[in-house]
């Protein structure tokens, strides 16, 4: 390998303990970092790799764990994507929030909480964004049980 | 009542009455009810209310190319208080359901509802098995016209409006827009599946089974608790009864003892009273009859 992928190299240099996995194979490269270091990692990306936008925050249910996937983008010069992943245990899915550094994380994290049920610690408004406030459960979890009745409306048909 | 010229459709115009041909040029004789219905159906004011892609077709219908105003229904109102007809155009989610119902509640009677598009008719081709979809707007509000399609063409919406106009006439002013034969759609289509009236859907069946299992478990739990409570009550009652019986038996025993002691005392006193009832009193002997001489 002639050259490292710059974001991975930068993260490994700055946070050697936090980087759990680096995948430089294929078109979709990513760096997996420790959950408690995600804020620092995102800051390093911004400072050293010119990343200036958080495209999306999404949650994945792998049955044995949850994953939060962040897609950062560099739009001003040399456009490109950087993907960060974070694994959290299923029984206590908590990740520090990025909403204070990246404004787009606010709604993305609320959506992830709404649909997958991953909590973001320190979020300024940690409530459901799309489903009704009194909804029970997080529908994109693999073990989600469909409601049979919502406010007297039969859902089993 | 059906129109002879158009079989199967309700008549919305009274049969023409023949008068003097000259008079007919200037005078229309009809019922006030018919006139009111005619005014009403000729100036439908729909509610400008779109939820999804069907709304684009609804807007298109109202614009110049399809020109809904030809049928007197072009005045889309921005408030339910001025509207006659709610065209539910688009997917109804559970979050929106309460709002849809409120809008319908705010419309003044008589009012009508057109369910436009597959989503409002029965949940839709894409989202029916979604967790957030109301499977048919008729679960929230009574629907007069079902208009299938995904989305329906503007011509189809115009057809729906024309059918609604017929309906307005068929039901009439005095019935306050209500069809006497109209009953709201049954909620229990699960019952329909059970009765074999509609084909079983695997997803539906699964959900229904889960629902029933939960319900049965709850019922069994309740029955078990009830039985336990009843058993406890019965045991308590039995214990109480046993105690009472014992007390009663003791009392009886004491009474018997007392009674045994009493007869003995009475027997001693008894012989003194005996003689009075001793021998039967013999009737006095009749004096022998004297033979007549």
Distance, CA of A49 to CA of A45 (rounded, Å): 5
Terminal-to-terminal C-alpha distance of chain A: 57
pLDDT band at A104 (very low <50, low <70, confident <90, very high): very high
Whether B186 and B138 have beta carbons less than 8 Å apart is answered as no
pLDDT band at B7 (very low <50, low <70, confident <90, very high): low
Considering chain A, what percentage of its residues have pLDDT values greater than 70? 98
pLDDT tens digits, one per residue of B119-138: 999 888 888 888 889 988 98
Contacts of B95 in chain A (CB under 8 A): 130-132
For the cut 60, the answer to whether the pLDDT of residue A126 exceeds it is: yes
- Distance of residue A104 Cα from the nearest chain B Cα, in angstroms: 24
Q: Can you give the pLDDT at residue A59?
A: 95
Say yes or no for a CB contact (<8 Å) between A148 and B132: no
Contacts of B98 in chain A (CB under 8 A): 151
**Which token pair is A124?**
């300024």
CA atoms lying within 13 Å on the CB side of residue B274: 7
pLDDT tens digits, one per residue of B240-251: 999 999 999 999
Say yes or no for a CB contact (<8 Å) between B211 and A148: yes
Say yes or no for a CB contact (<8 Å) between A148 and B131: no
Cα angle vertex B108, ends B103, B109, to 5°? Answer: 120
For the cut 70, the answer to whether the pLDDT of residue A81 exceeds it is: yes
Peptide bond between residue B139 and the one before it cis (omega within 30 degrees of 0)? no
Considering chain B, what percentage of its residues have pLDDT values greater than 90? 38
Whether A69 and A80 have beta carbons less than 8 Å apart is answered as no
A155 touches chain B (CB under 8 A): yes
Q: Can you give the pLDDT at residue B30?
A: 72
Q: Can you give the pLDDT at residue B191?
A: 54
**Which token pair is B164?**
């609604």
Q: Can you give the pLDDT at residue B180?
A: 46
B140 touches chain A (CB under 8 A): yes
- Distance of residue A25 Cα from the nearest chain B Cα, in angstroms: 36
Q: Can you give the pLDDT at residue B39?
A: 85
B189-228 as b/e: b if 16+ CB within 10 A: bbeebeeeeeeeeeebeebbeebeeeeeeeeeeeeeeeee
Tell me which H or E stretch contains B167.
helix B154-171
pLDDT band at B225 (very low <50, low <70, confident <90, very high): very high
Contacts of B204 in chain A (CB under 8 A): 156-157
Torsion of CA B3, B4, B6, B11, to 10 degrees: -10
- Distance of residue B95 Cα from the nearest chain A Cα, in angstroms: 6
Span of A25-29, B9-13, B186-190 with lowest mean pLDDT: B186-190
B65 touches chain A (CB under 8 A): no
pLDDT band at B193 (very low <50, low <70, confident <90, very high): low
Closest CA to B136 of A151, A130, A156, A134: A156
Share the mean pLDDT of chain B: 79
Tell me which H or E stretch contains A66.
strand A65-74
More confident residue, B208 or B65: B65
For B38-60, what is the mean pLDDT?
A: 90
Q: Which of B95, B98, B139 sits opposite A154 (nearest CB)?
A: B139
More confident residue, B285 or A29: A29
Closest CA to B144 of B118, B120, B119, B167: B167
Say yes or no for a CB contact (<8 Å) between A157 and B190: yes
Q: Can you give the pLDDT at residue B23?
A: 72
Contacts of B193 in chain A (CB under 8 A): none
B97 touches chain A (CB under 8 A): yes
Q: Can you give the pLDDT at residue A48?
A: 87
A133 touches chain B (CB under 8 A): no
Whether A149 and A135 have beta carbons less than 8 Å apart is answered as no
For the cut 90, the answer to whether the pLDDT of residue B207 exceeds it is: no
pLDDT band at B188 (very low <50, low <70, confident <90, very high): very low
For the cut 80, the answer to whether the pLDDT of residue B97 exceeds it is: yes
Contacts of B211 in chain A (CB under 8 A): 148, 156
For the cut 50, the answer to whether the pLDDT of residue B284 exceeds it is: yes
Please, which residues bridge with residue A66 across strands? A61, A88
B211 touches chain A (CB under 8 A): yes
Say yes or no for a CB contact (<8 Å) between B131 and A144: yes
Contacts of A146 in chain B (CB under 8 A): 131, 207
Considering chain A, what percentage of its residues have pLDDT values greater than 90? 57
B98 touches chain A (CB under 8 A): yes
| Cα separations in angstroms, B162 against A58, B46, B251 | 48, 13, 91
pLDDT tens digits, one per residue of A45-67: 998 888 989 999 999 999 999 99
Closest CA to B89 of B127, B144, B137: B137
Q: Which of A144, A153, A157 sits opposite B97 (nearest CB)?
A: A153
Contacts of B132 in chain A (CB under 8 A): 131, 139
| Total beta-carbon pairs less than 8 A apart between chain A and chain B | 43
Tell me which H or E stretch contains A32.
strand A30-33
Pairing of strands A65-74, A80-89: antiparallel
Q: Can you give the pLDDT at residue B184?
A: 42
For A2-24, what is the mean pLDDT?
A: 86
Q: Which residue of A has its CA nearest to B131?
A: A146
For the cut 70, the answer to whether the pLDDT of residue B12 exceeds it is: no
Phi, psi of B206 (to 5 degrees): -60, -50
pLDDT band at B16 (very low <50, low <70, confident <90, very high): low
Say yes or no for a CB contact (<8 Å) between A157 and B131: no
More confident residue, A145 or B196: A145
Say yes or no for a CB contact (<8 Å) between A151 and B207: no
Q: Can you give the pLDDT at residue A26?
A: 81
Note the ipTM here: 0.81
Share the mean pLDDT of chain A: 90
Distance, CA of A53 to CA of A35 (rounded, Å): 20
Q: Which of A139, A153, A157 sits opposite B131 (nearest CB)?
A: A139
- Distance of residue A152 Cα from the nearest chain B Cα, in angstroms: 9
pLDDT band at B280 (very low <50, low <70, confident <90, very high): low
For the cut 50, the answer to whether the pLDDT of residue A152 exceeds it is: yes
């Amino acid at each position: 390998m002639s050259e490292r992928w710059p974001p991975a190299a930068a993260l490994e240099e700055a946070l050697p303990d936090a980087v759990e996995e680096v995948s430089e194979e294929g078109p979709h490269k990513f760096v997996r970092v420790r959950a408690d270091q995600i804020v620092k990692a995102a800051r390093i990306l911004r400072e050293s790799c010119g990343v200036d936008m958080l495209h999306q925050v999404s949650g994945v249910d792998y049955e044995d764990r949850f994953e939060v996937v962040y897609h950062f983008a560099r739009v001003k010069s040399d456009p490109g994507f950087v993907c960060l992943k974070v694994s959290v245990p299923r029984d206590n899915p908590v990740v520090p929030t990025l909403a204070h550094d990246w404004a787009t994380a606010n709604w993305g994290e609320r959506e992830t909480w709404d649909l997958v049920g991953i909590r973001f610690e320190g979020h300024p408004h940690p409530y459901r964004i799309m489903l009704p406030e009194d909804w029970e459960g997080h529908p994109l979890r693999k073990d989600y049980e469909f409601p049979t009745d919502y406010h007297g409306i039969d859902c089993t048909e | 009542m059906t129109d002879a010229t158009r079989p199967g459709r309700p008549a919305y115009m009274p049969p023409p009455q023949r008068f003097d041909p000259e008079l007919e040029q200037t005078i229309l004789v009809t019922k006030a009810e018919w006139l009111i219905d005619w005014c009403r159906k000729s100036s439908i004011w729909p509610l400008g209310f779109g939820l999804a892609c069907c709304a684009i077709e609804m807007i298109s219908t109202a614009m110049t190319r399809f020109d809904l105003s030809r049928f007197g229904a072009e005045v889309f109102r921005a408030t339910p208080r001025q509207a006659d007809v709610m065209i539910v155009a688009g997917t109804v989610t559970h979050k929106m359901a309460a709002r849809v119902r409120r809008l319908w509640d705010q419309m003044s009677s008589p009012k009508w509802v057109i369910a436009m598009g597959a989503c409002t008719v029965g949940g839709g081709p894409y989202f029916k098995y979604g967790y957030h979809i109301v499977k048919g707007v008729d679960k929230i509000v009574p629907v007069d016209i079902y208009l299938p399609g995904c989305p329906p063409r503007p011509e189809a919406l115009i057809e729906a409006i024309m059918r609604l106009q017929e309906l307005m006439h068929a039901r009439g002013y005095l019935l306050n827009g209500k069809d006497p034969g109209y009953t709201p759609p049954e909620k229990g289509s699960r019952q329909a599946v059970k009765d074999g009236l509609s084909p079983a859907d695997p997803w539906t069946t699964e959900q229904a089974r889960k629902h029933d299992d939960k319900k049965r478990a709850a019922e069994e739990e309740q029955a078990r608790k009830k039985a336990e409570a009843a058993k406890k009550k019965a045991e308590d009652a039995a214990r109480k009864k046993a105690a009472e019986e014992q007390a009663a038996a003791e009392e009886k025993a004491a009474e018997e003892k007392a009674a045994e002691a009493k007869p003995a005392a009475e027997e001693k006193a008894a012989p003194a009273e005996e003689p009075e009832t001793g021998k039967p009193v013999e009737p006095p002997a009749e004096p022998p009859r004297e033979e007549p001489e």
